[in-house]
Structure 1
Amino acid sequence: MSFDSKLPSTGEGVDPELQGFIQMETQRAQFQGQVHKLTDLCWDQCVDKPRDKLDSRTETCMSNCVERFIDTSLSIATRFQKILQGN
């Protein structure tokens, strides 16, 4: 008997608490991935060279970049939700 045959198939015999934990950790990882993507995008867009602190132009650029990224992400998510609902 191989090890694989001892594993339960998806959803069968798996502790619901463990499933919830895995789902929560997956969502957390996805969120962290989005934060890293946002940071990279806005950093590349706004910071021409690293300094010991942000000047007002860089700070404003970062703020605007983050706001536009969030707005765009929400807009895309809303559009996909409407498509899935058949509207």
Structure 2
Amino acid sequence: MDSSSSSSGGGLGSMDPQLQHFMEVETQKQRFQQLVHQMTGLCWEKCMDKPGPKLDSQAEACFVNCVERFIDTSQFILNRLEQTQKSKPVFSESLSD
């Protein structure tokens, strides 16, 4: 495989653009599903001490808070990584100086 390929799929750079786009969309869907699964497991462990036929108001509030904190934390991390990337010079730009 060619190391100059910019895609995470190995040789996707020479692939049909529509197929490449489809693969990228499917990869994003998979990442989102993994994130939801991780969040569900984390919040379940934190908020469900005794599962029953109904969700009581305390557990419901805990789930809402857990999900909101998880989203806040994920957004903070993404923003921080974005800021870090913007502050670093791109490798190809640093070579042309």
Q: RMSD between aligned alpha carbons?
A: 1.6
TM-score, normalised relative to structure 2: 0.77
Where does residue 36 of structure 1 map in the other structure? 37
SS across alignment from 1:85: helix
Where does residue 46 of structure 1 map in the other structure? 47
Equivalent positions of 1:2-81 (< 5 A) are: 10=11, 11-12=13-14, 14-81=15-82
- Aligned mates of 1:33, 1:70 — CA distance in 2: 14
Identity rate, percent: 50
RCO higher in 1 or 2 (8 Å CA, sep ≥ 6)?
1
Question: Number of matched residues?
Answer: 79
Paired AA for residue 32 in structure 1: Q
TM-score, normalised relative to structure 1: 0.86
- Aligned mates of 2:54, 2:87 — CA distance in 1: 48
Instruction: Return 5+ residue gaps in structure 2 as ranges.
Output: 2-9, 89-97
Runs of 4+ in 1 over 6 A off after TM superposition: none
